Structure 1
Amino acid sequence: MKCLRIYATPDGESHFDEVEFPTTEIAVHPDAASFAVTASYPASRLRITHIPAGLREVSWHTLPEPVLTIRLDGSVEYETSDGEKRQVSAGSFVLVEDTHGKGHLSRHSPEAQTVIWVSLPKGFAALST
């Protein structure tokens, strides 16, 4: 299962990447089709955020810890310090690991949005790219 990643290099520049969450097929009931599930990963806390309608741009920022964001509705355009931009729509998840350096810019869609933030422990190692 592929996931967009925002990370910072040692020189403080932010970039995009994709990581792969390996999955295994499981069946939860004999009469149901199996589905893909990832391994379990440690998390330190979970927050549900409401981004109000009309919040358009959040200036350059970093996060204090690695976070997996899960967008339930609305969309956002992220920009990294190297100038690359990516649009992220509802139903997508992003691993945000730029905890130092210049950070990233967020441009939100005009409607209100709900995003789940799963804080990952310090030293969380990114998955394979």
Structure 2
Amino acid sequence: MKCLRIFATPDGESHFDEIEIPTNQVSVHPDAVPFDVTASYPASRVRITRIPAGMRQVEWHTVPDRCLTVRLDGAVEYETSDGEVRTVGAGEFVLIEDTHGKGHLSRHSQEAQTVIWISLPNGLEEPA
């Protein structure tokens, strides 16, 4: 399963990467068809935010801790300090790890959006 990632290098510049989250075929019930499931990752906090319609937030910013964002509706355009731009829509998720440095820009779509923020102290590294 692919996941977009925003991270900072030691010099504080932010960049995009795509990572592969390993999955296994799992049947969650004896009569169910198996489907892709990731490992369980430790999370320290879950927040749900409602971003109001028309909010653009175009200042450079970092995140306080590594988090996986899951966008339920709307879209956002991210820009990293190297100038690369990516758009993330409803149903997509992003691992945001630029906790230091210049950070990234977020340009939200005009409609209201709901986003789930899952703080992951270890990121998406393979759990022990």
TM over 0.5: yes
1:25-44 correspondence to structure 2 within 5 Å: 25-44=25-44
Q: Using structure 1 for the length normalisation, give the TM-score.
A: 0.93
Q: d(CA) in 1 for partners of 2:10 and 2:96?
A: 16
CA distance in 2, matches of 1:80, 1:2: 19
Task: Give the conservation status (yes or no) of the 8 Å contact 2:21–2:124.
Answer: no
Q: Taking every aligned residue pair, what percent have the same amino acid on both sides?
A: 74
Q: Which runs of 5+ in 2 are unaligned?
A: none
CA distance in 2, matches of 1:43, 1:125: 9
Offset at 1:67? 0.6
Q: Which runs of 5+ in 1 are unaligned?
A: none
Which has the higher mean CA deviation after the structures are superposed, 72-81 or 49-58? 49-58
For the aligned residue pairs, the C-alpha RMSD in angstroms reads 1.3
Letter in 2 for 1:48: I
Aligned pairs, number: 126
SS in 2 for 1:101: coil
1:82 alignment counterpart? 82
Match of 2:22 in 1: 22
Structure 2 length as normaliser, TM-score?
0.93
1:69 Cα deviation from its structure 2 partner: 0.2
Moved over 3 A (4+): 125-128
Shift of 1:68: 0.4
Higher strand share: 1
